[in-house]
């Protein structure tokens, strides 16, 4: 059987790092098995869903090269949910309930006060036809609950958490449809997994109890449940990420100049026993992808780790990766010289400015200005101008080490640190180099 996974975001906002990790792992789970990765837009909440977020989701997945093999929108499938609902209704697996939110909240508080689990007491099942008719005559529209079978065991072998078992009697019958007729997550999701042929559901551990409920929904709809796996949620260095997720999204990462390969390399192994490494090759990442390596402890996301991996990825990038946004006179030799000093590829423009100028002169002391004047005189252009210049100055001045090299770098680049001068000086060129040395000598 072809392995089919899905990523099912709600278009109520931009994708954040937790969403990205889920999408990536589902993509990897499918691709490693030669299967299919699907995108399902969970937009049944018409009030909060927006088309601009649908477009952003597609754009973000494309940027990360996680383009799905197919797409469905739940808002286009309402008739299917209606048909499934009627089947469950006829079978007695969904029932109307009339309690208000305030009444349900009071029931939960009473149960907790008595030391009981705060689950729904199924009072609506005890209503007679006359009582239900009276409620509706009063204008009370029902919401609908899925009736769990308390005699049906709920168990599955989770791909990450191992054997799982739930007692249905300890779970509330979930609301599947609101009083206004709109759908909640549970039933449409289960139905879509069946109709879309999803074989594997990989999602966060906060969905474990949802899975227990949905397993009975699959059975009630006459289908075999897919395989389930629940991965640990992301936390930050200081705890939960929830308050910061808005600033940890694809759009933010893209604006900050991170490489998509770095994001993928980090998130692919975050929460696993495998080391996070700057692996830009997707095939290499797929070869080592295995749910057996996923841990149960919360996965820690640290932007410093992303920055580190990003820099290492940038240091591997070929010239072609930046050719589209660098000046026309920027050469492969320039990229080779500058690349080791970059944390983000976009910084190459700043370093090219160091090459092409102008460079702000430093305020050197008199002794250093005299040294730089001698350097301007000693500069003889060749295939190895930096090596020749420093060799001549070492002999002529007796300087060595930092005392020999640092003033030259500062005069020629305006920086204290940077690319290897043996590679950078040929890019600066003889005329600019001499002008900068002479300007620094004049002070």
Using CA atoms, how far apart are residues 140 and 289, in angstroms rounded to an integer? 52
Please report the pLDDT score of residue 361 as a whole number.
82
Quick one: 263 and 237 in the same domain?
yes
- Kindly state the tokens that stand for 315: 């240091």
61 lies in the same domain as 98: no
**How crowded is residue 257: how many other Cβ atoms within 10 Å of its Cβ?**
14
**CA atoms of 266 and 274, how far apart (whole Å):** 11
| Token couple for 128 | 């007679």
H/E run at residue 424: helix 421-428
**Within 10 A of 204 (CB to CB), how many other CB atoms are there?**
15
**Full residue range of the structural domain in which residue 95 is found:** 87-177
Residues 106 and 143 reside in one and the same domain: yes
CATH number for the domain that contains residue 171: 3.90.800.10
**Same domain? 303 vs 343:** no
CA distance 390 to 412: 13
Of 193, 102, 88, the closest CA to residue 145 belongs to 88
Residue 48: per-residue pLDDT: 92
Adjacent-strand bridge partners of 164: 156
Place of tokens 């739940």: 74
Radius of gyration of the chain (CA): 32
Same domain, 279 and 305: yes
Q: How many structural domains compose the chain?
A: 3
Contact 178, 205 (CB under 8 A): no
Look at residue 214 and tell me if it is in a domain. Answer: no
Do 49 and 105 belong together in one domain? no
Stated length of the chain: 443
Q: Tens of pLDDT along the chain (443 residues)? A: 899 999 999 999 999 999 999 999 999 999 999 999 999 999 999 899 999 999 999 999 999 999 999 999 999 999 999 999 999 999 999 999 999 999 999 999 999 999 988 999 999 999 999 999 999 999 999 999 999 999 998 999 999 999 999 999 999 999 999 999 999 999 999 999 999 999 999 999 999 999 999 999 999 999 999 999 999 998 887 666 655 655 688 888 999 999 999 999 999 999 999 999 999 999 999 999 999 999 999 989 999 999 999 999 999 999 999 999 899 999 999 999 999 999 999 999 999 999 999 998 889 999 999 999 999 999 999 999 999 999 999 999 999 999 999 999 999 999 999 999 999 999 999 999 999 999 999 98
User: Is 97 within the bounds of a domain?
Assistant: yes
* CATH for 427: 1.10.10.350
Query: Residue 73 — φ and ψ, nearest 5°?
Result: -120, 125
Residues 6+ apart with CB under 8 A from 269: 275, 276, 277, 285
pLDDT reported for residue 248: 83
* pLDDT given for residue 244 in this prediction: 60
The strand pairing partners of 14, in sequence order, are none
Looking up residue 307, the CATH number of its domain turns out to be 3.40.50.620
Q: How many CB atoms lie within 10 A of CB 261?
A: 23
> Do residues 438 and 348 share a domain?
yes
Question: pLDDT at position 362, please?
Answer: 87
The number of helices, as runs of H, and strands, as runs of E, in the chain is 18, 13
* Structure token digits, residue 13: 């906002």
| pTM score | 0.90
Asked whether residue 350 is assigned to any structural domain, the reply reads yes
Considering the domain boundaries, does residue 184 fall inside one?
no
Whether residues 31 and 118 share a domain: the answer is no
Q: Which structure tokens are listed for 142?
A: 């029902």
In a domain, residue 5? The reply is yes
Domain-located, residue 138: yes
Nearest to 325 by CA among 353, 296, 348, 301: 348
Tell whether 32 and 68 lie within a shared domain. yes
224 inside domain: no
Query: Is residue 40 a contact partner of residue 7, using CB atoms and an 8 Å limit?
Result: yes
Residue 242 is assigned to a structural domain of this protein? yes
Asked whether 25 and 55 are in contact (CB, 8 A), the reply is no
Residue with tokens 């940038």: 314
Q: Is 243 annotated as a binding residue?
A: yes
């Amino acid at each position: 059987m072809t392995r089919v996974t899905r990523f099912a975001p709600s278009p109520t906002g931009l994708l954040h790092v937790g969403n990205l990790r889920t999408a990536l792992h589902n993509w990897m789970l499918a691709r490693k098995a030669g299967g299919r990765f699907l995108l399902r837009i969970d937009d049944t909440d018409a009030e909060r869903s927006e088309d601009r977020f649908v477009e952003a989701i597609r754009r973000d997945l494309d940027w990360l090269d996680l383009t799905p093999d197919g797409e469905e929108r739940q808002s286009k499938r309402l008739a299917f949910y209606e048909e499934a609902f009627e089947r469950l209704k006829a079978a007695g697996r969904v029932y109307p309930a009339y309690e208000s939110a305030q009444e349900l909240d009071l029931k939960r508080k009473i149960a907790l006060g008595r030391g009981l689990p705060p689950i729904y007491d199924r009072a609506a099942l005890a209503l007679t036809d006359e009582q239900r008719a009276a409620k509706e005559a009063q204008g009370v529209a029902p919401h609908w609950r899925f009736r769990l079978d308390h005699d049906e065991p709920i168990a599955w072998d989770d791909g990450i958490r191992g054997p799982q078992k739930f007692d249905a009697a300890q779970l509330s019958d979930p609301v599947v449809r609101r009083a206004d007729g709109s759908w909640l997550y549970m039933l449409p999701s289960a139905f879509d997994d069946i109709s879309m042929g999803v074989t594997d559901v990989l999602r966060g551990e906060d969905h474990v109890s949802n899975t227990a409920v949905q397993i009975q929904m699959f059975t009630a709809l006459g289908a075999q449940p897919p395989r389930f796996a629940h991965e640990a949620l992301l936390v930050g260095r200081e705890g939960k990420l929830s308050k910061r997720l808005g600033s940890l999204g694809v759009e933010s990462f893209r604006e900050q100049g991170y490489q998509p390969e770095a994001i993928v390399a980090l998130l692919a192994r975050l929460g696993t026993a495998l080391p996070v490494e700057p692996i830009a090759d997707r095939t290499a990442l797929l070869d080592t992808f295995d749910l057996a390596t996923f841990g149960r402890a919360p996965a820690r996301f640290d932007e410093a780790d992303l920055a580190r991996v990003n820099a290492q990825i940038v240091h591997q990038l070929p010239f072609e990766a930046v050719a589209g946004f660098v000046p026309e006179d920027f050469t492969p030799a320039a990229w080779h010289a500058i690349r080791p000093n970059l944390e983000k590829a976009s910084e190459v423009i700043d370093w090219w400015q160091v090459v092409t100028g102008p460079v702000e002169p430093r305020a050197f002391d008199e002794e250093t200005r005299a040294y730089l004047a001698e350097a301007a005189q000693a500069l003889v252009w060749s295939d190895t101008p930096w090596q020749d210049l420093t060799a001549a100055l070492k002999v002529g001045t007796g300087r060595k080490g930092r005392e020999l090299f640092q003033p030259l770098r500062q005069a020629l680049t305006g920086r204290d640190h940077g690319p290897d001068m043996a590679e950078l000086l040929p890019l600066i060129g003889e005329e600019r180099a001499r002008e900068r040395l002479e300007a620094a000598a004049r002070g």
